């Protein structure tokens, strides 16, 4: 098959949308945090914890949606820890974020070893199955790519719509955006900036954890160490690339995933002339490139990473 022909096959786009799904969840999660003024570098660890929590719930006998819920709760708890340290206490969001990532990752590995001391290969679960949408899934390429996915992918797209609607069409969303732009204006309205920010970080972290759970419960069927593999950091780049807008970030995530799916296929076609590591580097290199391209015109939320204390200007 020709390298360009791949782009017109349904299987390629089905894979791209599947690869995009966890990124969409986590990118929306990070976007909510940053829109409220908090950079959440706990993302990588929170995704790890979510991947484990969801998978382990199902392995222990829970059903799949209970697994998603447990993952979200685990994420929200790490979000609460992050927010407690960074919002009322105003500690460095860089240091706390890295700390939360280290803690969530190590707690996950500890729990895994404690719960499954003897296993050499991780046990498998019955993951979410594809659920073709009648009618729509019959459309060539586009229909197949979008509508033969698992329920969690549909939830990812729904999440983007809900996040966009809440951020731009509801009073809560206005308060979240204002907390990231001009916190004293929020306080002037009698709304607590601290409360808004803590809430945003908890909700955002829950979404990151669901993104992690997608990997163990929909894309694959088991939990591996280091399976997040930098996806969290890539999502931080995607938020910047999407200029903090849900729709643009969604497009960025899909473009990124399409590129990732494409490099895998190119790798298979290259016949080993180019070392496979070069292809594996591409997603990370692409993320850095994307950051450089948009950096000049990036409009960060003005209060991002600036702690807020009541009564200060």
Partner 1 sequence: MRLEPKPAPSLALTLLFPIAAIVATLLITSLLVLAAGASPLSVFYLVAKGAAGSQFALLETLTRATPLIFTGLAVAVAFRAKLWNIGAEAQLYVGGIVTVVLGTGALPLPSVILIPVIMLAAMLAGGLLLLGPAVLKTRFGVDEVVTTLLLNFIVLLFVSMLLEGVLKDPMGLGWPQSQKVIAEAQLPRIIQGKRLHYGFVIAIVSAIVVWVIMKKTVLGYEMRAVGHNPEGARFVGIPVNRVLMKTALLSGGLAALAGFSEVSGLKGNLTLDLSPGYGYSGIVVAMLAMLNPLGVIASAIFVAGIFVGADAMSRTAKVPSYIADVMVATSLLTMVVAILLTRFKVRWR
Q: Which of 191, 236, 254, 257 binds partner 1 (CB under 8 A)?
A: 236
Q: Which of 23, 146, 213, 234 binds partner 1 (CB under 8 A)?
A: 234
Backbone torsions φ then ψ of 246, nearest 5 degrees: -55, -45
The yes or no reply on residue 172 touching partner 1 (CB under 8 A) is: no
Q: CB of 42: closest distance to partner 1 in angstroms?
A: 11
The yes or no reply on residue 292 touching partner 1 (CB under 8 A) is: yes
Question: 229: left (phi > 0), else alpha (psi -120 to 50), else beta?
Answer: left
Restricting to residues 15-54, which ones interact with partner 1 according to CB under 8 A? 41
The yes or no reply on residue 291 touching partner 1 (CB under 8 A) is: yes
In a 13 Å sphere around the CA of 292, the CA atoms on its Cβ side amount to 6
Q: CB of 305: closest distance to partner 1 in angstroms?
A: 10
Q: What is the dihedral of CA 92, 88, 31, 151, to 10 degrees?
A: 120
Q: Which of 19, 68, 100, 202 binds partner 1 (CB under 8 A)?
A: 100
DSSP 42: T
The yes or no reply on residue 61 touching partner 1 (CB under 8 A) is: no
| End-to-end Cα distance, the chain | 62
Q: How far apart are CA 127 and CA 51, in angstroms?
A: 12
Residue 134, exposed/middle/buried by CB under 10 A (0-12, 13-18, 19+)? Answer: exposed
The yes or no reply on residue 102 touching partner 1 (CB under 8 A) is: yes
The CA–CA distances, whole Å, from 152 to 18, 303, 308 equal 10, 33, 36
Q: CB of 107: closest distance to partner 1 in angstroms?
A: 6
The yes or no reply on residue 103 touching partner 1 (CB under 8 A) is: yes
Binding residues for partner 1, rule: CB under 8 A, are 41, 81, 85, 88-92, 94-96, 98-100, 102-103, 105-107, 109-110, 113-114, 117, 229-230, 233-234, 236-237, 240, 275, 277-278, 280-281, 284-285, 287-288, 291-292, 295-296, 298, 309-310
């Amino acid at each position: 098959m020709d390298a360009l022909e791949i782009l017109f096959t349904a299987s390629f786009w089905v894979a791209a949308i599947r690869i995009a799904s966890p990124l969409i969840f986590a990118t929306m999660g990070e976007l909510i945090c940053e829109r409220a003024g908090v950079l959440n570098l706990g993302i990588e660890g929170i995704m790890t914890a979510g991947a484990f929590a969801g998978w382990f719930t199902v392995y222990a006998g829970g059903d799949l949606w209970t697994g998603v819920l447990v993952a979200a709760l685990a994420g929200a708890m790490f979000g609460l820890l992050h927010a407690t340290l960074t919002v009322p206490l105003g500690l460095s969001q860089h240091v706390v974020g890295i700390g939360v990532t280290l803690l969530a990752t190590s707690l996950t590995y500890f729990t895994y070893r404690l719960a499954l001391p003897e296993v050499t290969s991780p046990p498998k679960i019955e993951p979410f199955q594809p659920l073709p949408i009648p009618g729509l899934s019959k459309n060539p390429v586009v229909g197949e790519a979008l509508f033969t996915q698992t329920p969690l992918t549909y939830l990812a797209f729904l999440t983007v719509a809900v996040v966009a609607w809440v951020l731009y069409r509801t009073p809560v969303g206005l308060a979240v955006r204002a907390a990231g732009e001009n916190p004293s204006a929020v306080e002037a309205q009698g709304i607590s900036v601290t409360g808004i920010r803590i809430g945003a970080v908890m909700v955002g972290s829950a979404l990151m954890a669901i993104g992690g759970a997608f990997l163990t419960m929909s894309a694959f069927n088991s939990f591996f160490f280091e399976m997040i593999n930098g996806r969290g950091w890539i999502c931080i780049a995607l938020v910047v690339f999407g200029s903090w807008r849900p729709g643009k970030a969604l497009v960025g995530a899909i473009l990124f995933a399409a590129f990732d799916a494409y490099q895998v296929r190119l790798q298979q076609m290259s016949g080993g002339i180019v070392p496979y590591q070069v292809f594996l580097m591409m997603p990370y290199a692409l993320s850095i490139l994307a950051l450089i391209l948009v950096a000049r015109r990036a409009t960060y939320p003005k209060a991002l990473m600036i702690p807020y204390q009541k009564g200060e200007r």
